[in-house]
């Protein structure tokens, strides 16, 4: 009888012990994934630099007057965001559009709103349509300005959303996630500009991105392991 009571006590304590162990395992796995994401994020930083440098180099071959519209678009958003109003509602509309578009593929619904700058894509598509009917320079100027404005909005709010995760161990999710988003977004913009300007080559942009990143990795490897 005493043995039976002892077994019953062990059975009662087992679920409690399992419940205690489960959060510990979950927390441990979360930290492991956080470390992995942190390492991957650090490895992506050279590509963040190289994609930025390659974009600036390629875009520098475009007429300076046209370049200024893209940069002024981005700067205008920053000024409005800092001193006037945070257009989170407009950013949220973009999320809803992409959620509706990719509703057939649930896993991608979670990531698409961050990866794809929907407004930039829509603006480039609309410009491609309307440029067949209007050949005035103002159409391209407005398109570049709005691309700069909406891309800056997308990057700022995506960064803010990812950074808001309080359980992000070592900020690995933020470093990896935002670096990846930035690279994809600049790549999409570069692809779009390659259709707008004959001077802008997406192939050269991609090649320069790879070469710059390779040089950074080689320099780091040489510094660490080759004396």
Model confidence over 129-149: pLDDT tens digits?
999 888 888 999 999 999 999
- 177-200 average pLDDT score: 95
Would you state the pLDDT for residue 172?
Answer: 67
Has residue 162 got a pLDDT over 60?
Answer: yes
- Look at residue 97 and tell me if it is in a domain: yes
- Look at residue 111 and tell me if it is in a domain: yes
Which is more confidently placed, 97 or 28? 97
Would you state the pLDDT for residue 91?
Answer: 93
- Look at residue 144 and tell me if it is in a domain: yes
Q: Assess contact for 144 and 70: CB atoms under 8 A.
A: yes
- Look at residue 131 and tell me if it is in a domain: yes
- Look at residue 26 and tell me if it is in a domain: no
CA-to-CA dists, residue 22 to 28, 39, 179, 181, angstroms? 10, 26, 32, 32
Which is more confidently placed, 18 or 143? 143
- Look at residue 41 and tell me if it is in a domain: no
Has residue 18 got a pLDDT over 50?
Answer: no
pLDDT for 67-84, tens place per residue? 999 999 999 999 999 999
Name which of 2-6, 192-196, 202-206 the model is least confident about: 2-6
Q: Alpha-carbon distance 84 to 79, whole Å?
A: 7
What value does the mean pLDDT of the chain take?
85
Would you state the pLDDT for residue 19?
Answer: 45
- 184-208 average pLDDT score: 96
- Look at residue 149 and tell me if it is in a domain: yes
In terms of C-beta density within 10 A (0-12 exposed, 13-18 middle, 19 or more buried), how is residue 97 classed?
A: middle
- Look at residue 195 and tell me if it is in a domain: yes
Q: CA 24, 28, 33 angle in degrees (round to 5)?
A: 150
Has residue 39 got a pLDDT over 60?
Answer: yes
Domain count within the chain: 1
Name which of 15-19, 63-67, 73-77, 158-162 the model is least confident about: 15-19
Is the pTM here over 0.85, yes or no?
no
- 170-194 average pLDDT score: 89
Q: Domain range holding 102?
A: 68-204
């Amino acid at each position: 009888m005493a043995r039976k009571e002892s077994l019953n006590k062990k059975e009662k304590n087992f679920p409690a012990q399992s419940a205690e162990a489960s959060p510990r395992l979950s927390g441990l796995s979360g930290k492991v994934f956080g470390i992995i994401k942190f390492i991957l994020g650090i490895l992506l930083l050279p590509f963040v630099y190289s994609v930025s440098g390659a974009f600036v180099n390629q875009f520098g071959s475009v007429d300076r007057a046209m370049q200024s519209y893209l940069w002024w678009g981005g700067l205008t958003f920053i000024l409005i965001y800092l001193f006037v109003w945070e257009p989170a509602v407009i950013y949220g509309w973009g999320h809803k559009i992409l959620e509706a578009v990719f509703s057939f593929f649930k896993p991608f619904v979670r990531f698409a709103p961050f990866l794809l700058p929907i407004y930039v894509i829509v603006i480039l598509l609309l410009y491609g349509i309307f440029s067949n009917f209007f050949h005035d320079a103002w159409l391209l100027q407005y398109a570049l300005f709005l691309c700069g404005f909406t891309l800056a909005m997308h990057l700022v709010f995506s960064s803010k959303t990812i950074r808001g995760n309080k359980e992000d161990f070592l900020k690995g999710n933020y470093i990896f996630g935002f670096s990846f988003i930035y690279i994809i977004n600049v790549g999409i913009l570069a692809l779009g500009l390659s259709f707008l300007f004959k001077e802008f080559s997406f192939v050269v942009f991609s090649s320069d991105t790879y070469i710059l990143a390779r040089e950074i990795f080689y320099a780091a490897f040489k510094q660490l392991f080759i004396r």
